[in-house]
Structure 1
């Protein structure tokens, strides 16, 4: 069984989502990939959750900060309004080109597993997940890949 129920890519750039999915696919963390072009779409996808997620087999959300309609910060705020069991089944990693000190300060108020600078690589993601999975006792991940 894969360690993740699903991966949700939240970025308004379809090319970024495509490249990230290709990077993630090689890690074999899940069979289920979703893409949303803004936070509102991502919240809607989480609400209708089509997979069996749990704290031990979570949905990984790779979240861009700067997006139209609903940006990453607004997504994090909206995530807090979802049922607690769903919140506990979501692991958020912020994926951004650059962030201001205000962004970093605001992110610190939310349950974010980590931040990763774009472009996403297998090594960057594996490092974040190993830190999170080890802390949560969620199981084993494959070794880091470039």
Structure 2
């Protein structure tokens, strides 16, 4: 499987994060796995990564974002909306996959408006991760 430079996992559930981290690390998919517990933490992290990219001239922005929808502080919808305002961030160079227990058609339609076209049911599995990587990074 192709190695991805950096992955950002955005989820407030510690157990889900633990399982996802194990699966990603066992797949030896990335050298850098970043974890944010809500959308605001993720936005702050991405702003810092975009600033570092601009300063260093080397892309520091994660190539893959695994995003939960239902979180406190800032949910996935607000995260996707705020993402559009980050200077130096382009959704064209990042794959965003919604990792969720909610496959409500309204939620799916709402995130599609932000350019998200991948939906993975929790928990993340080796198979769903491999399929995602094959689809977008090979």
TM-score with structure 1 setting the length: 0.80
* Partner of residue 3, structure 1: 3
Q: CA deviation at 1:86?
A: 4.2
Is the aligned partner of 1:43 residue 2:43? yes
User: What RMSD in Å do the two structures reach over aligned CA positions?
Assistant: 2.1
1:49-85 deviations in Å (ceiling 9; x for gaps): 167437xx95211100000011011111111112355
* Partner of residue 65, structure 2: 61
Segments ≥4 residues shifted beyond 2 Å: 50-54, 83-90
1:113–1:128 contact (8 Å) kept in structure 2:
no
Distance 2:19 2:103 in 1: 21
Q: Aligned ranges for residues 79-90 of structure 1 at < 5 Å?
A: 79-90=83-94
Unaligned runs of 5+ in 1: 134-139, 141-146
Distance 1:120 1:32 in 2: 18
The SS at the match of 1:112 is: coil
Distance 1:101 1:124 in 2: 20
Unaligned runs of 5+ in 2: none
Count of matched residue positions in the alignment of Structure 1 and Structure 2: 131
Cα separation, partners in 2 of 1:131 and 1:9, compared to 1, 3 Å: same
Is the aligned partner of 1:22 residue 2:22? yes
* Partner of residue 32, structure 2: 32
Distance 1:46 1:90 in 2: 12
* Partner of residue 121, structure 1: 125
